[in-house]
Chains A and B, each alone.
Chain A
Amino acid sequence: MKSLSRTPLKSAKLAALAVFLMLGATATAMAQNPRIQTSQLDGLAAKASETVDVNIDESLMALTTKFLSSKDDDERKVKELVSGLKGIYVKSFEFENEGQYTDADLESIRSQLRNPGWSRIINARSKKDGSIEVYLMHTGTQVSGLAVLATELKEITVINIVGPVDLEKLTQLEGEFGIPELGLQGTAPKRKN
């Protein structure tokens, strides 16, 4: 009789355990998502004097890549750089006056970047010029995402690149599209003679 009464309880416990494991796995997978949601900042567009909103998802990226010429050197390099990427998302707001945005506006972005998958590689802050934070997400040994959060007194910029960002290739574009040499981990350091 005892065993009969325990069986449903055991099943329920197993079921609950399975649900918790599934939810945990889902939460972990979501935490490892290199895509940052920036729609919370859309409200700032009304206050901004200049807005840049670029949303290039994987399909658009594939289409664009096909139309980039392989003959032109610059376009070929850009093509090589973005060919493996799954998306580039840029949101930038420039305001006429100071104080048009608050830390609360940025908290939603920062909270996403506090997830365990992201690691901050650059955090430069100054009272005059604002701050710049650069984050990378690694999947294994490969970079799977890049995020830049730049704030100035009259400007906010959030950049999110999804996919295997090849920093070496990014470095190779230095000077051609204004892309600098970062000298980050994973990038082969160049010797300066």
Chain B
Amino acid sequence: MNSNLNSDTDYLWDKTGEPDPEIQQLEEILGTLRYQPRPLEIPSGLQVGKRSFFRGFRNHAAPLAIAATLAMLLLGLGLWLGLQRLQQSPQPLVKSPEAPQVRPVSSPEEKQNTATAVSSPEPKQKQIDSPRNRGNFPQVARNSRRDRNTVIKDQQLSLKQQQEAQAAKDQLMLALRVTSAKLSLAQKKAQNTNVPDLIHNQHKIG
């Protein structure tokens, strides 16, 4: 019995000894599930790079950091310039050092004088620079008409500017009055305050 058992056991462990039919049957049944080596088949629809984002990020950390820095610098610069532009005003409307003095024009001669005095230099320069226009009377007439239009526009512009300037001047005076009133009040209150109070009102150093 023992030898039989031993021989069965041997067959079970290392296939030596007498074969056991039951074990052989089990081997046949389970043999179909035995490991069979075969090449790895990757499905064509599988996206390989999807999960390797962070690995790629890690590999390109330095260029990404530099790019982020540059982007931040540009953003900061943009913000800074924007703030500066907000603080600074746009170009002043009047380019001439002295504001044009507009006075009522009565006679035609005066009108002509005013036209030559106030008209912008650009059309004149165009007349001089283009030799084709010399002696061409219709062109000169057209240019003079343009000059007159420019003069009227300039006069209207200066009137508008004058109105704006007058309004701004009134605002400025109002602002100065309010400022002066409040400063005067502050001065009076500060003078009326006792010396210990004045010391108390100072900022602490450090």
Interface size on A, residues (CB 8 A): 62
A-B contact count (CB 8 A): 164
Q: Which residues of A contact B181 (CB under 8 A)?
A: 178
Say yes or no: A26-B76 contact (C-beta < 8 A), given A58-B88, A63-B161, A180-B183.
yes
Least Cβ–Cβ distance between A84 and chain B, in angstroms? 14
B contacts with A, residue count (CB < 8 A):
51
Complex interface: chain B residues within 8 A of A82 (CB): 172
**Chain A residues, CB < 8 A from B98:** 66
A107 at the interface (CB under 8 A from B): no
Dominant secondary structure of chain A at its interface with chain B: mixed
B92 touches A63 (CB 8 A): yes
**Does A137 interact with chain B (Cβ within 8 Å)?**
no
A11 CB contact (under 8 Å) in B65, B165, B185, B189: B65
Chain B residues lying within 8 Å of A92, measured Cβ to Cβ, are: 178
The complex places the Cα of A148 from the Cα of B92 at a distance, in Å, of 28
- 14 A-B residue pairs with CB within 8 Å: A11-B65, A12-B65, A15-B69, A54-B172, A63-B168, A66-B94, A66-B165, A78-B172, A122-B187, A124-B186, A134-B183, A179-B179, A179-B184, A182-B187
Q: Which residues of A contact B (CB under 8 A)?
A: 7-9, 11-12, 15-16, 18-19, 22-23, 26, 29-30, 33, 35, 52, 54-64, 66-68, 78, 82, 86-90, 92, 119-120, 122-124, 126, 129, 132, 134, 148, 150, 157, 159, 161-162, 173, 177-183
